[in-house]
């Protein structure tokens, strides 16, 4: 498969990346491009917060919001709806919290390139922000198909197939 592509045009979504750990994470522009591709028309004029954290913060948030006392790869927090603003004004879409250590461990365990796994989790988290879910079977298949299609357009392999 060819190397993953990066977009030369500015992403449709504005992002604010906060790095709370020194672990490797993709460039802000790559994260914005991946999220923007996943969001499609939902990205226009939107703002997305991305927080790269360590296992302790991920575990605390996962326990508090999902009742699961362990760190997780990505958490999605949709923004509360705002009153309709004037045309062209940016407004928040939500936040993604990504645990770099969990992403790295999963990539190694699954035999996936780290960058590809990051792209998958950014796409996955962004889709949650616009209403995709994987808790029920029909929705899970729909979300998985969308993830595969978006990642293919970005030059990444199907994340649900083993590369070993």
3 or 156, greater pLDDT? 156
| Structure tokens that stand for 147 in this block | 């993830």
Each residue of 9-56: pLDDT tens digit? Answer: 555 789 999 999 999 999 999 999 999 999 998 888 889 999 999 999
For 13-153, CATH number? 3.40.390.30
Q: How many helices and strands, by DSSP H and E, does the chain display?
A: 5, 4
Q: Tell me the domain boundaries of the chain.
A: 13-153
| Structure tokens that stand for 161 in this block | 């197939």
Tell me the pTM: 0.87
d(CA 107, CA 86): 42
Element (H, E) at 105: helix 100-110
Length of the chain measured in residues: 164
């Amino acid at each position: 498969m060819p190397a993953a592509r990066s977009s030369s045009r500015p992403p449709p979504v504005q992002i604010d990346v906060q790095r709370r750990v020194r672990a490797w994470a993709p460039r802000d522009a790559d994260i914005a491009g991946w999220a923007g591709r996943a969001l499609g028309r939902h990205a226009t004029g939107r703002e997305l917060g991305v927080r790269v954290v360590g296992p302790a913060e991920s575990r605390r948030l996962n326990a508090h919001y999902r009742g699961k006392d362990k760190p997780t790869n990505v958490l999605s927090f949709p923004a509360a709806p705002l009153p309709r603003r004037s045309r062209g004004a940016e407004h928040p879409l939500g936040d993604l919290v990504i645990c770099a250590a969990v992403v790295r461990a999963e990539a190694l365990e699954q035999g996936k390139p780290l960058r590809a796994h990051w792209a998958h989790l950014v796409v996955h988290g962004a889709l949650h922000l616009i209403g995709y879910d994987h808790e029920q079977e029909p929705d899970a298949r729909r979300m998985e198909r969308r993830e595969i299609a978006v990642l293919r357009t970005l030059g990444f392999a199907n994340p649900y197939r083993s590369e070993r």
